[in-house]
């Protein structure tokens, strides 16, 4: 008995990208999550983003921890290497993987439990190192897989299914990321593909740690009245402060922007983000004011979304380490081993 | 009935000549710069061609507490502590009483006679040699810091005279040491001379306890095990090192980093062909190693007991997903924080079985720094060949003390054994890649690396999986994988380093030891032989055990197993993982935190053998 | 050559009457509400005075994957799985083929005949009973959700007819269940009746496989082990529970919390006489337990294998500082994430020796929910008496399945054994308090609690300490403490629960088992006896082992050790921690993740015995 | 051989407090830290604060992790119970200890390595729970005990002894605490007893989590030029934004304050803090603006000190849990055990 079914054709259209691949080639195994789970919408957005970005699937490494959310990597890009690690420890796996090979695309999928409780330390320190990866938190305010306990992202007053309100201060992934040195910090909603897909693309193109916190309702344990992570609550309180459009390298800009409100940001790979401010008084390039803005608006119950902070100049882990361009795992052994003569010579110092 | 102990004559009277066979111990205060003076002393002897061993006993703090340095001069090349103290340099007022008490009868004690000595602590059977170090240094040097440092150098000078050392060697060493600051050489030499002159003038130099040039160390080096292991990691081609600082393993990564800076960093561009990551903790460090290994780099982490405890969950993950990882456990005294600056072999069982569920791990047990080098390289080969975590269990004694050992050799023909990794070409050829198929029957399956070829794509998971690599909760499919892991572990037993055996036909009793106990055991066996007790010897170098281990035990009547832990952990492993009769195994356990010495083994073995004879 | 399988006659023809001795298995889809319908079924039989056992097989997800519920009706009260399936209720299209294949020859399969059936999957030796559940429910009920739920209730109704269950009992159960929403009772009864009527009309009811009232369950309850353990923690007087959710241990803390809400929270003020803390991870959970214990509360944490791995460092701390802690390891399948919803006994070695350095821990092995209750209480007494961590090793089978067991008893005279804790009065009297003085010679020292009395003040540390409690790096002082811990562990062996022994004189072979294997082993022994093979039986309840364990093994010629792990972990413990000859111990290992069943033991034992006879 | 010496008389004066104790009664074992280590100055400040607060020593529980800093509890209040736990895990010990017994005074001493690397998760979550304790970080930017590696609080550009600059984003304890729900957040300097002693007292009186981040230079590994945690750098860039005076319960206010600039805060035990703003534009009661202020000023190299944020109304862990007032460990067993009859009755539900 094996219950893994083949990928289901969710994209009957056969549109191909420049690699000759269809969207179906970016799909994965059939989801085993609950029908309606926000996580599955994120999967769909990821598939679309990868397809449109025209990434060769096998050049992507998908990483995760443990949780319903952490199962996501099994549901997209079945032609990629994936690693489902242990609970809360995906960031360290990503760090090591990236250290070994700098030229793959790393996407990590985690949950609010996985990243903010057991994994908080690793999450924070991966950001400190400005590890080059897209890190998605599928944030539902609960532990789905263990059946609905509050997670650290549950808001004060948000009610459990049995009606008991959470009383502990939430740990907000976005504020944490800004405080810990994340160089690309965004929030979105699983129900808003429009906003989500360009953010995924931009996060992937960003050279450094891109955090994408996605409110992703748990229909089974946290989608009721009184929950502040339900579909309804999120829709009602969704506040977009910036809108980011993503334009891949060397693509003609077709959309016309009203100059004043739009800020183009060119990334390392030549792609551009066109950042449109929706909240006038919001400045996504200023850490302290951005975080004060988000904090005060969230205190009012708003779900502040968009590309919230970005610094495309911060050196990533390899830049800080001064690692050579050719991935370490591909270095020829002759480059790594100084050989017998050198060994003989260096031992003079031990006499 | 006290005699005037500090007499010129006394020095020569008490016992016969002890040429190149004695122990000098130096009692200092942590952080007073004594380490470099003491190193000068030991290296001088070493450069005179005389074998030595040197051990540091230091507290778990940074400054101000007692610390000792023990140099054993041994013409026979014994590396273990001897258990005696022939010359004590007692520079620490706080431990003075203990230090006096520790001198072996007939020995010497050198002290700072700048202040009146405590007569109550005098001993009849020890010769007290007072030198007014502080007084002279105060007169001679200006700054407080220099005075403190030069006091140390001055007693070295006195020892040059007392032990008949070659002052030219001392000067040569100082010149090398201060190559970048040549002005410091005359300063130091001034202090050396002060001590030398004082000793020549006031004592009957040299003492019967003394050094005479030999010529047996020219192919030898003095190196600590962490340095050797760090060097081994570089030679093995490791490119990713992740760690969290912890005594006594810290210097291993420092060494790797230092060697890589020297040999793998472009001096012009600064570009590095390696990446060392100081992780936020050990859970993260092992995760990084696993991530890097998954991606095809040779990666390792050095740590000590508490780190392994913290890594336990991830170790099981690597075991079950079959990813290589090299872990150095430089053991210190447990349980818990224990004594971080003392040595033990207390993690043997933990490393062999770390993590929940059914798990077994490959372990290597280097006996000395030399072997730290070779077994480090081997560890990477085994980890990749067997696709599993490999532990190198060194300890504080090996890792942090400089041992004299033969110059390290390297064979330029060596190529890393990367194990069964399918490259793009191989993947291109096969129909479909299944991660956990045991094609060769040795329990080892082929793996693929991310990004190399679309056909190699595969989802690694610590949850139940079948031989195809797919998720499963099916009992048979799960069990099939688990049983293959047992098969793989059998294969491991045939590829790990064999035990080292010293045996003679007709000998019925034997000793087994491993790791840092080796040197003391070998010395003990020599001494037992002198006393007419012949024992064979097997030194375990790896777990799982090769067949030779079981055969050796079966071939003997009684087997003493020497260990540096309370619970006879290697005896446990032997009992569980070989077919031998456990009643044959007699544990000899030494676990107070100081390195093992031969006498302990001699006494225990002979007591047992005599008891048996008289029974 | 297919026959028309769905005939009224067929049902009665195939085999003789199977009264109160059969297995019914229900194949469903996760998250479709089948659990409550299936519970209704099993409870109905139970309330009819007939012994049952019920087991859930569910996937590691929340909704949409296959799940099975297996009810064994056993007039003899056997609790283990039987290994056969007499009636299959096949409600999951995805597993239909497997489910058909699993029915024992002569059995029945109930399926939803709303759609045409797959004739290819028909079997000659199985009676297929089709009921158009979906069709009827679609016609009868409005909302989609209700239709799905009522389909389940409808097949229960059919089973009432087929198995000759008492419909009044069903109604009574529904009334209790929906006491708060009485409107739901008629709705559910409508569905029951629909199924009942359909079956009565179309099949020859009841089947030969059927239930008849008995009167042997009136002193029995149906409870899962996690509930019983949670209840035990409350009765033991635990006030602090710290945990991190993990399958299959989560419901233990839910139970404790629920019971405490009921009995320890003031209904007016809401004030709680307990504190449950959902920690951020397992490292923190065990820290909280240790902190609370240090401060004198009874504290515990429930977890599973990965949690214990993460707690390893802190476990060594509690061992060395001698602080009580109660840890529940509700074992699931390892290594690593393994199969979180399957059962195993894979953490036996880890728990016994968790953490670096020399450590040994007290472990208890409850066999069923009843014992979970009693041994939970015992665990707190032992932890405080011995001042050390105590592990209760349950497993998913015990923890998450409802077992039938005798009503739990409580002795109101019970008082917690708080161990050697000096109160203010005692502290006032003594000259000076030394934490690690072994005054009684049993290895257990007196402790003091913070804040109670100035004289009790003491600094707890995981670093080296002497018997006075002061920091030390001295070998002898350190060793003295470590050796006393060995002595304490000897004391532990004399106070832990004794093994349960069933033996007859003259029997030469025996079985040893522990934990959830007990029920299958007892059944197997009965069956072996029927076959003329008499074996004695010892059930281990604790580690370290009492003397009776070694004596029992020594008294037998061959001893089979039944375990649910790959590596024979209890055999390892017995080999290491008793003086027995390991060759006597024959491991019988069942570790695919489903609970053990008698036949496995019967087959293995008889094969071995026959082989010996024929050898 | 045992090297623990008796406490040394550091306070020859014999002034007694109302309990009849002298400052010496608040001392501990002799320090084994390096001469001049900042940590020892903090020890002195703690001794003074406890003496002046007139706390019975045995009613204090001292907790720590591992590090030079974590040795501090051995050097004060030898008449208190102490617990030196494992590295980074003191917060969980404190949480459990406090859960068991709410009426002792808890003081935890940690280091920047202990709290911000290995211990970051526990540190953050103890704050989320608003655990009632004083939590001191003796912050020197390095791992002292393991000989001088950079810690996570090392500033970008701060140089190691060998001259290598740190390149990773620092994790700032104060900003982290404000983000994670710490209800009392202060920073000080080991070299400023004047500021330190009242902050210790206030933190002790505060009912909830009081974080006191103390810059405490490591003379051996991080006190050189180029270090931003040296005595000199800290003195030069010390910026006090508020000054807090502490007045114990029922004590006459003797100091006269200029009304406008001083804000009195009354704590649960009746003691008061007189908070004097030194930076006009600083508001220690507003989370988001306070944290923006600190962040932007620190970016300019200032070491912002004082009582930086305070919310004395946040419920502590026991209030959230609704724990009874009598400590749990002191509850009579008869209150905890429902007895045989209740057991019988409740089992009706399991038939
Ligand atoms: C060490 C360890 N502890 C606990 C668990 C159990 N566990 C699995 S998933 C999970 C929480 C998942 O929550 P989150 O990350 O928010 O994911 P979600 O299911 O909500 O998407 C927990 C506690 C585990 N797998 N490993
Ligand atoms: C699990 C574990 N890992 C590593 C260590 C080694 N260790 C001891 S103290 C320390 C760092 C201490 O730094 P910090 O907390 O800043 O204290 P400081 O010495 O600087 O005061 C480390 C890494 C340990 N004791 N335990
Ligand atoms: S339980 Fe919640 S998070 Fe998990 S799959 Fe279902 S809806 Fe999604
Ligand atoms: S090493 Fe640094 S932190 Fe440690 S005691 Fe010395 S000065 Fe203080
Ligand atoms: Mg979640
Ligand atoms: Mg520090």
pLDDT digits (tens, 9 = 90+) for B245-267: 999 999 999 999 999 999 999 99
**Nearest chain D residue (CA) to A182:** D169
CB contact under 8 A, A58 and B460: no
> For residue C8, is pLDDT > 70?
no
Cis bond before residue B206 (omega within 30° of 0) = yes
Q: How many residues does chain D have?
A: 351
Give the residue numbers spanning the domain of A168.
23-330
Q: Which chains does chain B touch, 3 or more C-beta pairs < 8 A?
A: A, C, D
Contact yes or no for B62 and D86 at CB 8 A? no
What pairs with residue A16 in β-bridges?
A22
For residue range A268-318, what is the model confidence (pLDDT) as tens digits?
889 999 998 899 889 999 998 999 999 999 999 999 999 999 999 999 999
pLDDT at A255: 56
How much is the pLDDT for C2? 30
Summarised one tens digit per residue, pLDDT across range B471-509 is 999 999 999 999 999 999 999 999 999 999 999 999 999
The residue in chain D having the minimum alpha-carbon distance to the alpha carbon of residue C466 is D2
pLDDT confidence of residue A192: 96
Cβ of C62 within 8 Å of Cβ of A150? The answer is no
- pLDDT band for position B111 (cuts 50, 70, 90): very high
Question: B61-65, B466-470, C84-88, C231-235: which has the minimum mean pLDDT?
Answer: B61-65
Rounded to the nearest angstrom, the distance between the alpha carbon of A111 and the centre of ligand 1 is: 8
CA pair distance C36, C517, nearest whole angstrom: 27
The fold of B500-614 is Rossmann fold (3.40.50)
Q: Which two tokens stand for residue C267?
A: 């209904």
CATH number at residue A321: 3.40.50.970
pLDDT in tens, C280-335: 999 999 999 999 999 999 999 999 999 999 999 999 999 999 999 999 999 999 99
Taking CA atoms only, the protein residue closest to ligand 4 atom 6 is: D34
Ligand nearest to the CA of D120: 2
Mean pLDDT of C586-594: 98
Mean pLDDT value across chain C: 95
Structure tokens at A1: 């008995």
Name every chain D residue with its beta carbon within 8 A of the beta carbon of C287: 85, 89, 91-93, 95-96, 122
Q: Give me the mean pLDDT over the B10-14 stretch.
A: 44
**Sign of the CA dihedral running A132, A138, A143, A146:** negative
Q: CA-to-CA distance for A215 and A217, rounded, in angstroms?
A: 6
| β-pair partners for A273 | A246, A265
Average pLDDT in the D218-244 region?
A: 96
D33, D67, D72: residue to mutate for ligand 4 pocket, most atoms within 8 A of CB: D33
In contact, D11 and D48? CB cutoff 8 Å: no
pLDDT at B311: 98
Output the CA A117–ligand 1 centroid distance in Å: 9
Task: Quick: pLDDT tens for B508-561.
Answer: 999 999 999 999 999 999 999 999 999 999 999 999 999 999 999 999 999 999
Contact B317 A79 (CB under 8 A): no
Q: What SS3 class is residue A342?
A: helix
Asked if ipTM goes beyond 0.85, one says: yes
- 10 Å CB burial of residue B575 (0-12, 13-18, 19+) is buried
Q: Is the CB of D305 under 6 A from ligand 2?
A: no
User: What was the pLDDT predicted at A13?
Assistant: 60
DSSP run (H or E) holding C428: helix C424-429
Give the CA angle between residues B461, C344, B289 to the nearest 5°: 30
Q: What is the tens place of the pLDDT at every residue in B318-363?
A: 999 999 999 999 999 999 999 999 999 999 999 999 999 999 999 9
What average pLDDT does range C157-174 have in this prediction? 97
A111, two tokens: 């949950």
How would residue C4 be classed by pLDDT, with cut points 50, 70 and 90?
very low
Domain residue ranges in chain B: 8-210, 223-403, 421-495, 500-614
Distance from CA of D297 to the nearest CA of C (A): 32
Give residue D197 CA to ligand 4 midpoint distance, Å: 22
Q: Is the pLDDT of residue C614 over 90?
A: no
Whether C95 shows a pLDDT value over 70: the answer reads yes
Pair B129, B203: CB distance under 8 Å: yes
The residue contributing the CA closest to ligand 4 atom 2 is: D218
What is the D45 CA–ligand 4 centroid distance (Å)? 17
Q: How far is B8 from B207, CA to CA, in rounded Å?
A: 10
Is ligand 2 within 6 A of the CB of residue D149?
no
The distance of A152 to chain D (nearest Cα, Å) reads: 9
Query: Measured from the CB, is residue D171 less than 6 Å from ligand 4?
Result: no
Whether C336 and B349 lie within 8 Å, measured CB to CB: no
CATH code, residues C223-403:
3.40.50.970
Tell me chain B's radius of gyration from C-alpha atoms.
Answer: 27
Quote the percentage of chain B above a pLDDT of 90: 94
Cα-based torsion angle of the residue sequence A65, A68, A71, A77 in order, rounded to the nearest 10 degrees: -120
Mean pLDDT value across residues C60-80 = 94
Total number of domains in chain D: 1
**Which among B63, B64, B245, B247 is the best mutation to test ligand 4's pocket, defined by most ligand atoms within 8 Å of the CB?**
B63
For residue D79, list chain C residues with Cβ-Cβ distance below 8 A: 454, 457
Tokens representing C440? 């009684």
Instruction: Tell me if chain B has a CB within 8 Å of the CB of D146.
Output: yes
Mean pLDDT across C114-128: 91
Chain C residues with beta carbon closer than 8 angstroms to that of A71? 61
Chain D residues whose C-beta sits inside 8 Å of any chain A C-beta: 117-121, 124-125, 127-130, 152, 167-169, 171-172, 175-176, 179-181, 287-289, 291-293, 295-296, 299, 314-315, 320
The phi-psi region of residue C151 (left if phi > 0; otherwise alpha if psi is between -120 and 50; otherwise beta) is alpha
Copy the structure tokens of residue C53. Answer: 């056992």
Summarised one tens digit per residue, pLDDT across range D56-79 is 999 999 999 999 999 999 999 999
Residue B536: name the closest of B520, B552, B554, B516 by CA: B552
> A12-41 pLDDT, tens per residue?
568 999 999 999 999 999 999 999 999 999
Decide if C540 contacts C507 (C-beta within 8 A).
no
Closest CA of chain D from C230, distance in Å: 13
Ligand 2 midpoint to CA D146 (Å): 6
One DSSP character per residue, D245-262 reads: EEE-TT----S---GGGE
Burial class (CB in 10 A: 0-12, 13-18, 19+), B102: middle
C-alpha A214/C-alpha D314 separation (Å) is 29
Predicted pLDDT at D10: 53
Work out which ligand 2 atom sits closest to the CA atom of B245: 23
Domain for residue D64, yes or no? yes
Residue of C nearest to D346 (CA): C259
Instruction: Please indicate whether residue D34, judged by its CB atom, sits closer than 6 Å to ligand 4.
Output: yes
Asked if the structure places residue D149 within a domain, the reply is: yes
pTM (2 d.p.): 0.96
Contacts of A83 in chain B (CB under 8 A): 291, 294, 459-461
Percent of chain B with pLDDT over 70: 98
Contact A128 D152 (CB under 8 A): yes
Q: What average pLDDT score do residues D80-97 get?
A: 98
Q: What is the pLDDT of residues C440-457, one digit of tens each?
A: 999 999 999 999 999 999
pLDDT of D283-320, one tens digit each?
999 998 999 999 999 999 999 999 999 999 999 999 99
The pLDDT, as a whole number, for residue D181 is: 87
Fold of C8-210: Pyruvate-ferredoxin Oxidoreductase; domain 3 (3.40.920)
Flag residues of chain A having pLDDT under 70: 1-13, 252-260
Question: What residues are neighbours of ligand 5 (ion), with CB under 5 Å?
Answer: A 111-113, 140
pLDDT band at B2 (very low <50, low <70, confident <90, very high): very low
If you search the block for the tokens 């859960």, which residue do you land on? Answer: D99
pLDDT band at B12 (very low <50, low <70, confident <90, very high): very low
D227 CA to middle of ligand 4, Å?
15
Which residue is closest in CA terms to ligand 4's atom 1?
D144
The DSSP bridge pattern shows strands B536-540 and B500-502 to be antiparallel
Q: How far is the CA of A146 from the centre of ligand 1 (A)?
A: 6
Q: Which residues pair with B491 in a beta bridge?
A: none
Confidence bin at D2 (pLDDT 50/70/90): very low
pLDDT band at B6 (very low <50, low <70, confident <90, very high): very low
> Is A336 domain-assigned?
no
Cα–Cα nearest to B55, from B32, B78, B33, B76: B78
Matching fold, domains B8-210 and B500-614: no
**Distance between CA atoms of B238 and C79, rounded to whole angstroms?**
55
């Amino acid at each position: 008995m094996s219950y893994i079914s083949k990928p289901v054709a969710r994209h009957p259209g056969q549109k191909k990208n420049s690699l000759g691949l269809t969207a179906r080639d970016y799909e994965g195994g059939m989801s085993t999550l609950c029908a309606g789970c926000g996580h599955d919408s994120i999967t769909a957005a990821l598939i679309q983003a990868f397809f449109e970005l025209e990434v060769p699937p096998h050049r992507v490494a998908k990483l995760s921890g443990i949780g319903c959310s952490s199962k996501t990597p099994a549901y997209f890009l079945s032609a990629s290497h994936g690693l489902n690690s242990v609970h809360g420890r995906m960031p360290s796996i990503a760090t090591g993987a990236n250290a070994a090979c700098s030229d793959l695309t790393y996407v990590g999928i985690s949950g609010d439990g996985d990243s903010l409780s057991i994994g908080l330390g690793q999450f924070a320190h991966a950001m400190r190192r400005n590890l080059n990866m897209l890190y998605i938190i599928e944030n539902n305010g609960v532990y789905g897989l263990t059946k609905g306990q509050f997670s650290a992202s549950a808001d004060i007053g948000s009610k459990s299914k049995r009606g008991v309100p959470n009383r502990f201060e939430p740990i907000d992934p976005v504020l944490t990321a800004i405080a810990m040195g994340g160089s690309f910090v965004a929030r979105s909603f699983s129900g808003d593909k429009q906003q989500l897909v360009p953010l995924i693309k931009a996060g992937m193109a960003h050279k450094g740690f891109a955090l994408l916190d996605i409110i992703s309702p748990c229909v089974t344990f946290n989608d009721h009245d009184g929950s502040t992570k339900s579909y309804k609550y999120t829709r009602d309180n969704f506040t977009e402060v910036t809108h980011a459009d993503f334009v891949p390298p060397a693509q003609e800009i077709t959309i016309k922007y009203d100059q004043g409100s739009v800020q183009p940001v060119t990334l390392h790979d030549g792609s551009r983000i066109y950042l449109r401010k929706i909240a006038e008084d919001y400045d996504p390039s200023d850490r302290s004011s951005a975080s004060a803005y988000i904090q005060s608006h969230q205190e009012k119950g708003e779900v502040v979304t968009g590309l919230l902070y970005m610094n495309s100049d911060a050196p990533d882990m390899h830049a800080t380490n001064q690692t050579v361009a050719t991935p370490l795992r591909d270095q020829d052994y002759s480059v790594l081993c100084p050989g017998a003569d050198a060994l003989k010579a260096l031992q003079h110092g031990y006499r | 009935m006290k005699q005037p102990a500090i007499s010129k004559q006394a020095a020569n009277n008490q016992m016969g000549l002890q040429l190149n066979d004695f122990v000098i111990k130096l009692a200092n205060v942590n952080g007073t710069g004594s380490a470099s003076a003491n190193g000068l002393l030991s290296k001088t002897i070493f450069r005179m061609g005389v074998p030595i061993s040197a051990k540091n006993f230091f507290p778990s703090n940074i400054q101000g507490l007692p610390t000792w340095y023990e140099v054993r001069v041994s013409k026979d090349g014994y590396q273990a502590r001897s258990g005696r103290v022939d010359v004590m340099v007692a520079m620490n007022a706080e431990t003075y009483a203990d230090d006096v008490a520790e001198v072996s009868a007939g020995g010497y004690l050198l002290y700072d006679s700048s202040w009146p000595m405590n007569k109550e602590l005098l001993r009849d059977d020890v010769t007290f040699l007072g030198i007014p170090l502080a007084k002279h240094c105060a007169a001679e040097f200006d700054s407080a810091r220099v005075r403190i440092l030069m006091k140390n150098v001055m007693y070295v000078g006195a020892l040059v005279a007392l032990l008949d050392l070659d002052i030219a060697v001392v000067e040569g060493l100082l010149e090398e040491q201060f190559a970048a600051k040549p002005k410091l050489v005359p300063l130091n030499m001034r202090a050396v001379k002060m001590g030398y002159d004082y000793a020549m003038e006031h004592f009957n130099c040299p003492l019967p306890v003394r050094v005479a040039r030999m010529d047996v160390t020219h192919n030898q080096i003095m190196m600590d095990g962490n340095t050797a292991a760090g060097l081994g990691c570089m030679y093995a081609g490791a490119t990713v090192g992740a760690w969290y600082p912890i005594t006594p393993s810290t210097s291993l990564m420092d060494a790797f980093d230092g060697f890589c800076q020297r040999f793998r960093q472009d001096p012009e561009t600064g570009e590095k062909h390696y990446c060392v990551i100081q992780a936020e903790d050990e859970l993260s460090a092992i995760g990084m190693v696993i991530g890097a290994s998954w991606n095809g780099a040779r990666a390792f982490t050095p740590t000590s007991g508490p780190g392994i405890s913290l890594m336990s969950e991830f170790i099981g993950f690597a075991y079950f997903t079959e990813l290589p990882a090299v872990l150095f456990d430089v053991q210190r005294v447990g349980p818990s924080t224990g004594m971080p600056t003392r040595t033990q072999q207390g993690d043997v069982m933990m490393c062999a079985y770390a993590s929940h569920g059914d798990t077994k791990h490959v372990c290597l047990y280097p006996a000395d720094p030399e072997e730290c080098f070779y077994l480090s390289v081997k560890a990477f080969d085994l980890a990749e060949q067997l696709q599993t975590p490999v532990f190198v269990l060194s300890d504080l004694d090996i890792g942090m003390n400089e041992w004299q050992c033969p110059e390290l050799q390297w064979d330029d023909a060596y190529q890393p054994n990367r194990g069964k990794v399918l490259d793009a070409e191989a993947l291109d050829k096969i129909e479909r890649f299944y991660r956990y198929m045991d094609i060769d029957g040795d329990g080892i399956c082929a793996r693929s690396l991310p990004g190399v070829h679309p056909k190699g794509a595969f989802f690694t998971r610590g949850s139940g999986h079948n031989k195809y690599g797919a998720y499963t909760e099916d009992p048979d499919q799960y069990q099939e994988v688990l049983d293959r892991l047992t098969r793989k572990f059998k294969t491991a037993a045939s590829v790990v380093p064999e035990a080292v055996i010293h045996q003679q036909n007709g000998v019925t009793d034997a000793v087994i030891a491993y790791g840092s106990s080796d040197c003391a055991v070998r010395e003990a066996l020599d001494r037992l032989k002198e006393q007419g007790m012949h024992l064979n010897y097997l030194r375990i170098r790896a777990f799982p055990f090769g067949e030779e281990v079981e055969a050796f035990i079966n071939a003997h009547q009684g087997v003493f197993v020497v260990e540096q832990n309370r619970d006879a952990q290697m005896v446990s492993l032997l009992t569980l993982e070989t077919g031998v009769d456990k009643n044959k195994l007699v544990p000899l356990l030494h676990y107070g935190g100081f390195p093992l010495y031969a006498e302990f083994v001699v006494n225990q073995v002979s007591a047992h053998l005599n008891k048996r004879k008289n029974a």
